[in-house]
Amino acid sequence: MNHTLPIDPARLEFRNVSVKYGSRHAIEDVSIQVPHGARGAVVGPNGAGKSTLFKALVSLLPLDTGNIYIHGRPLGHHLDCVAYVPQREEVDWHFPVTVRDVVMMGRYGRLGLLKQPGQKDRTAVDRALQQMEIDHLSNRSIQDLSGGQQQRVFLARALAQQPHILVMDEPFNGVDAITRDATLRLLKDLTTRDVTMMVSTHDFLLAREHFDLVLLINRKVIAFGTPVEVFTTEHVSLAFQSQMMLIDGALVVDQCCGDEEHTHIHGGEE
């Protein structure tokens, strides 16, 4: 099956990408093209390789096979092009830094040899803090914030980086309504700036309503295309397998995310 889209050049392209943990494939033979400025959701069961895909994109994990291209050039040829927002569980929130310090980290790739922020960097940080509505928290320690506030700090750090591509790993998981709404507004705003986005989520409805493209993955690509094309009964069944039940004509997908159990209803083909 051909999972690439006939768009040339692609803003972001994975060609036959595989990543292993030891002898086991975490993702295998992933080939997709994400066009310039698109909003892409990455959906799949726990252990499907969503986080692995993102970490490979930002060079936190080595590729076993294949290549990843940005603007038609392989990884390593771009300066601070991709901003990455990891899952909150992967961050050491006890590190003694202020909110402004964390957001300024988004500027490090653009600083000169002396690594001293200039006015342009401070302005970018101020704008990011204001956009995520956390400027009043700028001098607070990151460890003293709520989970939703911490998430918005990392989103502000990504904004300050001024990336071409924004990658967010489960940004909607376990956050409050304010943070969820702020994240959705950010997605909409970045679309107007032609920023390409890749966001992992367990929420089928959110992926349907707020994203142009969906990558459905379970180590291998199950389907890639528009939400209508991807969220069919056949594709979802292939991706989630034993985690699915049929209740009153609707597919029910049970997943555990951290300490929370999430149940998602999928109504089948449209």
Angstrom distance (rounded) from CA 158 to CA 245: 38
Structure tokens at 227: 């939400």
Beta-strand ranges (E) seen in 105-178 are 165-169
pLDDT (0 to 100) of residue 247: 39
pLDDT (0 to 100) of residue 113: 55
Residue labelled with tokens 């607070």 = 140
pLDDT (0 to 100) of residue 39: 94
Angstrom distance (rounded) from CA 239 to CA 235: 6
Count, in order, helices (H) and strands (E) of the chain: 8, 13
Q: In which element (H, E) is residue 255 found?
A: strand 250-257
Question: Residues for the chain: how many in total?
Answer: 270
Structure tokens at 67: 């290549």
pLDDT (0 to 100) of residue 1: 46
Q: Could you state, in order of their start, the residue ranges of all structural domains in the chain?
A: 1-78+164-241, 93-162
pLDDT (0 to 100) of residue 20: 94
Q: Which positions of the chain have pLDDT values less than 50?
A: 1-8, 245-250, 257-270
Q: In which element (H, E) is residue 183 found?
A: helix 177-192
Residue 257, number of CB atoms within 10 A of its CB: 14
pLDDT (0 to 100) of residue 114: 62
Query: Domain 1-78+164-241, what fold?
Result: Rossmann fold (3.40.50)
Q: Can you say how many angstroms the Cα of residue 13 is from the centroid of all Cα atoms in its chain?
A: 15
pLDDT (0 to 100) of residue 11: 75
pLDDT (0 to 100) of residue 251: 52
pTM of the model: 0.83
Angstrom distance (rounded) from CA 172 to CA 181: 9
pLDDT (0 to 100) of residue 243: 59
